[in-house]
Amino acid sequence: MTALLFFILIILFIISVPIAISLGLASVLYLLFTAGDNALIQLPQRMFASLDSFPLMAAPFFILAGKLMEHGGISERLVDFAKSLVSQMKGGLGHVAVVACMFFAALSGSAAATTAAIGAILIPSMVKAGYDRNFATAVHAAGGTTGIVIPPSVPLVLYGVTAGASVSGLFIAGIIPGIMIGISLMIVVYIISSLRGYGAGSTKTTLKEIIYTFKRAILALIMPFIILGGIYGGIFTPTEASVVAVVYGFIIGAFVYKQIKLKELREILVSSVITTSVILFIIATAGLFGTILTREQVPQSVANFIIGADLSPVMILLFINLFLLLVGTFMETIASVIILTPILLPVVTSIGMDPIHFGIIMIVNLSIGLITPPVGVSLFVGARVGNTRFEPLVRAIIPFLLMMFVNVLIITFVPQLSVGILEFLGKK
């Protein structure tokens, strides 16, 4: 009967039914076929149980904090500071885009928001400076993927809740991989810019300009240190930190930078509620779907099958990475985390992998799906913001995708990049 569940789900995916509806409808139809009408009484209880989690409350607050940062005049100051640091390099504005995306990622925790906020500012400037429009858009789409790796990250929160892993530990573990990804994307920008002659006439920035832009951006830059420092220092939990982020973002945007007006605040709240409701609906239906998988012992069966195949740990990890990359190309990140974590976690723990390390591997793999067709959320956002077509943008993103694949392998087989910092800080 498990085959029936997946058959229904795949058919719904093929006919483009939204992820949340597909998960819920497949679960309902499965229960009707197997248990009759009485099983439907459990649906509201199971869905509510999936949402009844204190750590999960961090997700909507981080979403709201990201919206406040996006509209609060912070992105412009981050871009100016990034320009002062790296604009003089070959392909300067491309490097500015990546660095600005990394800064904004540490505030918003969202790939799409990062791509939209920074791209709206920098893509026109890059095109005006002679950069190819598709290349400029691809840089921002790729840079935006750091939004779900660099903490705070909503997918990391959801993985922590699903896997029963420490959210604060996941945040710490995501710092170095996120920075590494950003640096690797800058390498791609440098190589392509050198071949095409982008940014060759960039002028050097003076120390005075760096200090000036730093002062303008300092209130935005210290927010991650407040949030992450408070978590790691034991001052507040990740959930409480998300509320602190909202308060801080509102105060800075409304009263210091004075960019958030009453009209914008209403739009921010409505947008945050819509985004949150979509995510929570996915979590609720994915939780119901996951309950059925657990009852049918699908995670155990998958784990036993892979272990019984007598594969080496290296081959198992390569297989899981390939599987995650494939899933990320057609399934939304949040749903992938909720559905796949219970299935794959027993497999990796059976070969001795730390759950936190696997969480980083999963999120990085799924972040690649954000810039990979056919779903490619960041690609669609980038195409809209960059005013370009989807097809040529896909070609422009290929070099960045190849570098991301290399990042996945490094993060997978060099666990010290993620859990090593936890051991250094005595958190393991």
pLDDT per residue over 2-24, tens digit each? 777 778 888 887 887 877 788 88
Distances, alpha carbon 166 to alpha carbons 81, 106, 427, in Å: 33, 19, 10
Going along 192-318, which residue ranges are E strands?
none
State how far the Cα of 355 lies from the Cα of 346, in Å rounded to an integer. 9
Would you say 396 and 177 are in contact if contact means Cβ atoms under 8 Å apart? no
For residues 266 and 254, is the Cβ–Cβ distance under 8 A?
Answer: no
pLDDT of 203: 61
Which runs of consecutive H residues, i.e. helices, occur in 110-166?
111-128, 133-144, 154-163
SS3 content of the chain, % helix, strand, coil (to 5): 80, 0, 20
Q: What are the Cα distances from residue 424, in Å, to 77, 168, 418, 427?
A: 33, 15, 11, 8
Residue 131: the pLDDT is 92
Lowest mean pLDDT among 61-65, 257-261, 296-300: 296-300
CB-based contacts of 396-402 (< 8 A; 24+ apart in sequence): 396/132, 396/134, 396/135, 396/137, 396/138, 397/138, 397/141, 397/142, 397/371, 399/188, 399/191, 399/192, 400/138, 400/139, 400/141, 400/142, 400/185, 400/188, 400/371, 401/142, 401/368, 401/371, 401/372
Task: Kindly tell me if the per-residue pLDDT of 307 is higher than 60.
Answer: yes
User: Cα separation of 107 and 226, whole Å?
Assistant: 11
At residue 364 the predicted structure's pLDDT band, cuts being 50, 70 and 90, is very high
Q: Which residue has the higher pLDDT, 9 or 395?
A: 395
Q: How many Å apart are CA 308 and CA 117, to the nearest integer?
A: 48
Distance CA 121, CA 154 (A): 24
Query: Does the pLDDT value for residue 417 go beyond 80?
Result: yes
- Tell the burial category of 370 from Cβ atoms under 10 Å away from its Cβ (0-12, 13-18, 19+): buried
* pLDDT at residue number 3: 77
**Cβ within 8 Å of residue 229, ≥6 positions away:** 235
Query: Which residue ranges make up each domain of the chain?
Result: 2-424
How far is Cα 110 from Cα 153, in angstroms, rounded to an integer? 7
Q: What percent of the chain has pLDDT over 90?
A: 28
pLDDT at 415: 93
For residue 77, report the phi and psi dihedrals to the nearest 5 degrees.
Answer: -70, -35
| Coil/strand/helix, residue 260 | coil
Distance CA 307, CA 311 (A): 7
Q: Which conformational region is residue 96 in: left (phi greater than 0), alpha (psi within -120 to 50 degrees), or beta? A: alpha
Q: Decide if 350 contacts 319 (C-beta within 8 A).
A: no
Q: Read off the tokens for 347.
A: 């497999």
pLDDT of residue 414 exceeding 90:
yes
In the predicted structure, residue 173 carries a pLDDT above the cut 90: yes
* pLDDT tens digits, 31-79: 887 766 666 777 787 788 878 877 778 878 888 887 887 788 787 888 8
Return the SS3 of 206.
coil
Residues 230-240 pLDDT 10s: 887 788 888 88
* Residue 77: both structure tokens together: 């100051």
Give per-residue burial for 99-115: e unless 16+ CB within 10 Å, then b. Answer: bbbbbbbbbbbbbbbbb
The interaxial angle of helices 207-232 and 238-251, nearest 10 deg, is 140
Residue 148's nearest CA partner among 208, 104, 202 is 104
